[in-house]
Amino acid sequence: MSSEILSTLGQSQEETEFYTPMPAGYRKGHHKYVIVVGTVMSGLGKGIFSSSLAKLLQDKGMRVTPIKMEGYYNIDSGTLNPYRHGEVFVLDDGMETDMDLGTYERLLDQELSASNFCTNGQIFSIVLKKEREGSYLGRDVQTIPHVTGEVKLKLRELAIKADADVIFVEVGGTVGDYENAVYLEACRQLAYEEGEASVVFVALTYVLEPGTLGEQKSKAAQLGIKRLMEMGIMPSIIACRATNPVNEKVRQKISMYANVPMRRVVSMHDVESIYLVPEALREAGIDREVLTLLDLHDRVDQRQEDQARTKWRWFVDRIGRAQKHVTIGVTGKYTALRDAYASIIKAVEHCGVHLGCDVQLKWIDTTTIDESNVARRLADCHGIIVPGGFGVRGTEGKIECIRHARESRVPYLGLCLGFQMAVIEYARNVCGMTGANSTEFDPQCATPVIDILPEQKKIEGLGGNMRLGGKDVEVKPGTMAARLFSNASRIRLRFRHRYEVDPQFIESLERHGLVFSGKHPTQPIMQIVELPQDVHPFFMGTQAHPELTSRPLRPQPMFMGFVQASIDFAHQHHQPQTQVV
């Protein structure tokens, strides 16, 4: 680029304070935005509200796409401790994200991508890269307009990529957090630039109900909304989270304080299942309010809405009406925090609804399990899940749980680490491989049936040697896996792991009866393992995370097979109970 052109561009930059890069193909006025912001405290369910409202518009025939904007400086969620941030949700393209992306995928039945997830780390990396490349034309790079400009650019690029009528923007954290201030300012600017009927702000707040007072209090909600208004953002809708339905008096106070009509102040109290929230919002009329605020009534397809609503009602009408009951043990090391296994909980819930069964999950910390107590601790379980995880803590307890499931013919489903533990257990106790283990837990073990494959060892850096995202799996005909997936020869599952079954042990394991029913199409990478059904009614493990792809209307086949087997086990082992008066 000539110095004359650079000089001209630099001069133009000096003459304006606007920095709003507009991607090619962007249609201003066509793409609309619903921006959901939290007040009072985090963890109230912004993702549930946002995805539920997005579903209502999707049902009406509109193209919707979500984005979660996180304030932390990590590039992704891959290295976050589950105790701090819940489970890591992996997208098909390999992006490791916040667990809210799982909520969006399940409720919208969409496969999202890295474009639907944003962190401060990503934004600032882009800004610094552009600064080094001279993209800011000699300007001093500042939060406003450059950082906020990159946030707006990301939103508009997503709008184009998804060809979306409405983009649902969930701003992580709570108003007043330093780390999300850039996002809120960018969204304020976006509303200014897009013009009327283009952006709707929703404030999700919390109505306190202290037990000692016996009444609902709205002051914290009022002050949180005030903090948002001080930033120049006027919410059009207030969603009030609470334990019980928010009463008229509290809604009136919030309405008056926030300049929001009563019809747009909606109670979002606790319900039995998050899948009841879309219908609750529809009955409150919030979907129609959004259509009016964004001038979208002319884009509604009434026939599609009727069909979508009928399908969804079939599912939600079955919630809480189960005639059968089973208990499934989840044996892991993060059992103190349910969010660490959010997708497993939802996958089991989907199956329970479809099979008419109330599935109770029993959380078992495997650090306290050994040979002497495993039978007693799992005595009331009709099925056992060993979920994924990293590190050696609790692994020997998991192996004992798997041995118990195999020998007692209790239905078993191993996920990722649970797959690896099943192979180790079988190698030790059936194949007689003394010292069988994983090099993750014992680098010097005598029989490393689980190891990092040579091509992975070449990749350096934490997270760099992970197999991430959607991968094709070749399914062996005639196996239980084939039957579960309707005899498909190739399926797609999502992965997040480093270690594999070492190919040198596969022949010996198979000779002793273990069946590798799913593998990589071209490499000796085992991805599904099982025992024949004449040996065990349901014993299956997968290196993948099938829970990530379960949907309310399309339960994941492995989970469906497992829950059905657990129901059958419970029926076969049912002992009539004598009621004690």
Go through the domains of the chain in sequence order and give each one's CATH number.
31-315 (3.40.50.300), 324-571 (3.40.50.880)
The 3-state secondary structure of 133-146, one letter per residue:
HCCCCCCCCCHHHH
Integer-rounded Cα Rg, in Å, for the chain is 26
Identify which of 333, 341, 331, 334 has the alpha carbon closest to the alpha carbon of residue 362. 331
Q: What is the pLDDT of residues 445-500, one digit of tens each?
A: 999 999 986 665 554 444 446 789 999 999 999 999 999 999 999 999 999 988 99
- With contact defined as beta carbons under 8 Å apart, do 566 and 411 qualify? yes
Identify which of 280, 267, 194, 276 has the alpha carbon closest to the alpha carbon of residue 237. 267
Cα separation, 487 vs 485, in Å, equals 6
- With contact defined as beta carbons under 8 Å apart, do 477 and 487 qualify? yes
Cα separation, 528 vs 506, in Å, equals 13
Give the pLDDT score at 480. 97
Catalytic residue of the set 87, 170, 305, 547 = 547
Identify which of 63, 64, 88, 62 has the alpha carbon closest to the alpha carbon of residue 74. 88
Cα separation, 149 vs 19, in Å, equals 6
Query: Phi and psi for 66 in degrees, rounded to 5?
Result: -100, 165
Helices (H) and strands (E) in the chain, counts: 20, 21
Identify which of 112, 3, 123 has the alpha carbon closest to the alpha carbon of residue 71. 123
H runs (alpha helix) in 438-556: 454-457, 480-484, 506-511
Give the pLDDT score at 15. 60
CA distances to 41, 207, 223, 230, 244 from 217, in Å: 15, 6, 12, 22, 12
Give the pLDDT score at 573. 81
Cα separation, 484 vs 259, in Å, equals 54
Q: Mapping DSSP to helix (H, G, I), strand (E, B) and coil, where does residue 389 land?
A: coil
Give the pLDDT score at 455. 60
Average pLDDT over residues 136-155: 92
Q: Left if phi > 0, otherwise alpha if psi is -120 to 50, otherwise beta: which for 197? A: left
- With contact defined as beta carbons under 8 Å apart, do 205 and 40 qualify? yes
Q: Mapping DSSP to helix (H, G, I), strand (E, B) and coil, where does residue 413 land?
A: strand
Average pLDDT over residues 311-325: 93
pLDDT classification of 111: cutoffs 50, 70, 90: very high
Cα separation, 192 vs 521, in Å, equals 51
For the question of residue 404 being annotated catalytic, the response is: no
- Residues of the chain above pLDDT 70, percent: 92
What are the structure tokens assigned to 283, written together?
A: 């009955």
- Helix (H) or strand (E) segment spanning residue 385: strand 383-386
Q: What is the pLDDT of residues 403-435, one digit of tens each?
A: 999 999 999 999 999 999 999 999 999 999 989
For the question of residue 350 being annotated catalytic, the response is: no
Q: ω before 477 within 30° of 0 (cis)?
A: no
CA distances to 25, 39, 60 from 45, in Å: 34, 11, 23
- With contact defined as beta carbons under 8 Å apart, do 555 and 396 qualify? no
- With contact defined as beta carbons under 8 Å apart, do 91 and 469 qualify? yes
Give the pLDDT score at 95. 95
Q: Mapping DSSP to helix (H, G, I), strand (E, B) and coil, where does residue 109 land?
A: coil
Q: What is the pairing mode between strands 436-438 and 447-451?
A: parallel
Q: Mapping DSSP to helix (H, G, I), strand (E, B) and coil, where does residue 473 land?
A: strand
- Within 10 Å of residue 148's Cβ, how many Cβ atoms? 24
Catalytic residue of the set 146, 416, 431, 530 = 416
pLDDT classification of 350: cutoffs 50, 70, 90: very high
Provide the β-strand partners of residue 32. Answer: 166
- With contact defined as beta carbons under 8 Å apart, do 265 and 222 qualify? no
Average pLDDT over residues 39-64: 95
Give the pLDDT score at 303. 97
What are the structure tokens assigned to 198, written together?
A: 């283009």
Q: What is the DSSP letter of 543?
A: S
Identify which of 41, 160, 50, 62 has the alpha carbon closest to the alpha carbon of residue 104. 50
Q: What is the pLDDT of residues 17-27, one digit of tens each?
A: 777 888 999 99
Catalytic residue of the set 146, 382, 497, 545 = 545
Give the pLDDT score at 86. 78
Q: What is the DSSP letter of 98?
A: -
For the question of residue 187 being annotated catalytic, the response is: no
Average of per-residue pLDDT values in the chain: 91
- Residues of the chain above pLDDT 90, percent: 79
pLDDT classification of 13: cutoffs 50, 70, 90: very low
pLDDT classification of 136: cutoffs 50, 70, 90: confident
Give the pLDDT score at 339. 76
The 3-state secondary structure of 271-320, one letter per residue:
CCCHHHHHHHHHHCCHHHHHHHHCCCHHHCCHHHHHHHHHHHHHHHCCCC
What is the residue whose two structure tokens read 């390999």?
A: 94
Q: What is the pLDDT of residues 261-317, one digit of tens each?
A: 999 999 999 999 999 999 999 999 999 999 999 999 999 999 999 999 999 999 999
Q: Name the residue type at position 150.
A: E
Helix%, strand%, coil% for the chain, nearest 5: 40, 20, 40
What are the structure tokens assigned to 564, written together?
A: 């059905």
Cα separation, 257 vs 203, in Å, equals 13
Indicate whether 234 pLDDT > 60. yes
Cα separation, 197 vs 292, in Å, equals 8
